[in-house]
Amino acid sequence: MDSPFKDANHIFRDKEPFKEGYTPDEILEREEEIQEYAAALQDIPDGFGAPNVFIYGQTGVGKTATTQKVIEFLESEAESADVKLTTLAVNCNKRTSTYKVLQYLANELYPDEHFKQGTHPDTLWNRIYERLDEISGYVLVILDEIDKLGEDEELLYDFPRAKAIGELENAEVGIVGISNNFKFRENLSQRVKSTLCEKEIQFSPYDAHELRSILSYYADLTFHDGVVTGDVVPLTAALTAQDSGDARMALDLLETAGDIARHEDDDVVTEDHVRIARSEVDRANTRDIITERLTSQMQLVLMATTLLVIDPDGEAKVKTIYLYKDLCDRIDADTLSESRIRDHLDTLEMFGLLEKGEHNLGRRGGRAYIYSLVDEPRIVVETFQEDERLRQGFPASIDALLGAFEASNQSHIQSEFEG
């Protein structure tokens, strides 16, 4: 058999910049935020203190990448100004409590020792303070995904006050908290909010113009010259801007379009590759949400809604609830109350799987909520068909129904739930 692998890659020159954790040399389209960020931290090189800063914005809008760049500048400014500065970066995604962050910091500050799980928290605090006093100067603790600490505020309360209350003599701690969870800030207690959110910087989603410039920069680094045809970057930027304004998502789409061109042995990447990539990425996202994030009852409610969407007789005659009960009977699952089903429909909407519209019931009075699927029904049906138990819930004619639906391309409103 001949080797199944392709010859030399004529599409990509380097894929490193697409990887998670890659630090770009340049941060584009964030000039204003960088200026604000620098102003918020100016007290450090000026020698006036270590401030606390809170950075927030949706996922993929450059909060982490911009922070890395600003910290690089800050470190070099501090050095030129002869100001002692230590920066400690912690990702709270993996360290979700004050204790875990302290354990991590202690291990970073004492590379020759190992602080095991179970070390008394007072020991961790004392050793950390001891070391920071030895190092002396300003200490900036950068807590990425700070919202993962949840309601555990001990660290956020104690650390910035350590000098004021005499725990530290020669060092002063400032915190940079980064979050994509908008509720986190609101839920902070007043005493922590007033310190941590002393200075706040918001990062907005990127618009199409900004994404174009970011994508062009990455395309130059990752693709061979002349491979990316004219409309690819603007289309990728426009599709992502309409959806989320998330640079990570845009880069993922561009890479997937390149992968498809490579796989198909095409010489160049075109708009068509981007469109195919878009449907592949959507498919993968939908699958992840359905299989990883929905409870089995939410899956059943989604299944019922999907069946109504593809069943030509389903429109406005049958309600989600009856179909849902029927599905539960078929796969022998418990049935929820109508109000819980309603909650689940709202959750499915929040996950971006369903869209809710409203219509008046005319002479009958009242309103009805109309749910439609955001994705192609086939993506949802195929995901359910991969699950042995859920597959039983579909009627034997599901493939024929789906085929007929696609042929007639009925994608309008289908499921009714009276409000």
Ligand X SMILES: Nc1ncnc2c1ncn2[C@@H]1O[C@H](COP(=O)(O)OP(=O)(O)OP(=O)(O)O)[C@@H](O)[C@H]1O
- Site stretch for ligand X (CB under 6 A), options 28-36, 162-170, 283-291, 344-352: 28-36
The DSSP string of 246-268 is: -HHHHHHHHHHHHHHHHHTT-SS
Nearer to ligand X among residue 188 and residue 247 (C-beta): 247
* Rounded Cα–Cα distance for residues 130 and 116 (Å): 18
Tell the smallest beta-carbon distance from residue 101 to ligand X (Å).
17
* Rounded Cα–Cα distance for residues 13 and 10 (Å): 8
- Residues of this chain, 180-209, that bind ligand X according to CB under 6 A: 180
State yes or no: residue 29 binds ligand X (CB under 6 A): yes
Ligand-binding annotation for 61, yes or no, is yes
> What is the Rg, in whole angstroms, of the alpha carbon atoms belonging to the chain?
27
State yes or no: residue 148 binds ligand X (CB under 6 A): no
Residue selected from 11, 40, 53, 64 as contacting ligand X according to rule CB under 6 A: 64
Residue selected from 9, 13, 14, 22 as contacting ligand X according to rule CB under 6 A: 22
Tell the smallest beta-carbon distance from residue 383 to ligand X (Å).
24
Q: CB within 8 A of 241, min separation 6: which ones?
A: 205, 206, 207, 208, 211
Tell the smallest beta-carbon distance from residue 331 to ligand X (Å).
36
State yes or no: residue 28 binds ligand X (CB under 6 A): yes
Phi-psi region of 359 (alpha: psi -120 to 50; beta: other; left: phi over 0): beta
Nearer to ligand X among residue 25 and residue 358 (C-beta): 25
- Site stretch for ligand X (CB under 6 A), options 63-71, 271-279, 298-306, 383-391: 63-71
The H-or-E segment that residue 405 falls in is: helix 398-408
Residues 232 and 269 sit within 8 Å (Cβ to Cβ): yes
State yes or no: residue 65 binds ligand X (CB under 6 A): yes
State yes or no: residue 256 binds ligand X (CB under 6 A): no
* Rounded Cα–Cα distance for residues 116 and 191 (Å): 31
State yes or no: residue 59 binds ligand X (CB under 6 A): yes
Nearer to ligand X among residue 27 and residue 402 (C-beta): 27
Tell the smallest beta-carbon distance from residue 206 to ligand X (Å).
7
Residues 210 and 29 sit within 8 Å (Cβ to Cβ): yes
State yes or no: residue 177 binds ligand X (CB under 6 A): no
Instruction: Write the CA distances from 102 to 95, 155, 162, 403, integer angstroms.
Output: 9, 8, 14, 57
Residue selected from 24, 137, 234, 352 as contacting ligand X according to rule CB under 6 A: 24
Ligand-binding annotation for 63, yes or no, is yes
Q: Which residue has the tokens 């024929």?
A: 400
Nearer to ligand X among residue 17 and residue 137 (C-beta): 17
Backbone dihedral angles phi then psi of residue 371, each to the nearest 5 degrees: -105, 135
Burial of 404 (0-12, 13-18, 19+ CB in 10 A): middle
Tokens of 275: 């469109």
- Site stretch for ligand X (CB under 6 A), options 97-105, 247-255, 310-318, 383-391: 247-255
The DSSP string of 87-98 is: EEEEETTT--SH
Q: Name beta bridge partners: 137.
A: 171
Ligand-binding annotation for 65, yes or no, is yes
State whether residue 85 is helix, strand or coil.
Answer: strand
Residue selected from 84, 161, 199, 248 as contacting ligand X according to rule CB under 6 A: 248
State yes or no: residue 61 binds ligand X (CB under 6 A): yes
Nearest residue to ligand X by CB is: 62
Ligand-binding annotation for 206, yes or no, is yes
Binding-site residue total for ligand X (CB under 6 A)?
A: 19
Residues 36 and 204 sit within 8 Å (Cβ to Cβ): no
State yes or no: residue 69 binds ligand X (CB under 6 A): no
Tell the smallest beta-carbon distance from residue 229 to ligand X (Å).
22
Estimate to the nearest angstrom the gap between the alpha carbon of 367 and the chain centroid: 34
Tell the smallest beta-carbon distance from residue 61 to ligand X (Å).
4
Residue selected from 45, 51, 62, 177 as contacting ligand X according to rule CB under 6 A: 62
Tokens of 53: 């800063």
* Annotated binding-site residue numbers: 61-65, 206
* Annotated binding-site residue numbers for ATP: 61-65, 206
- In the complex, the residues that contact ligand X under the rule CB under 6 A are 22, 24, 27-30, 57, 59-65, 180, 214, 247-248, 251
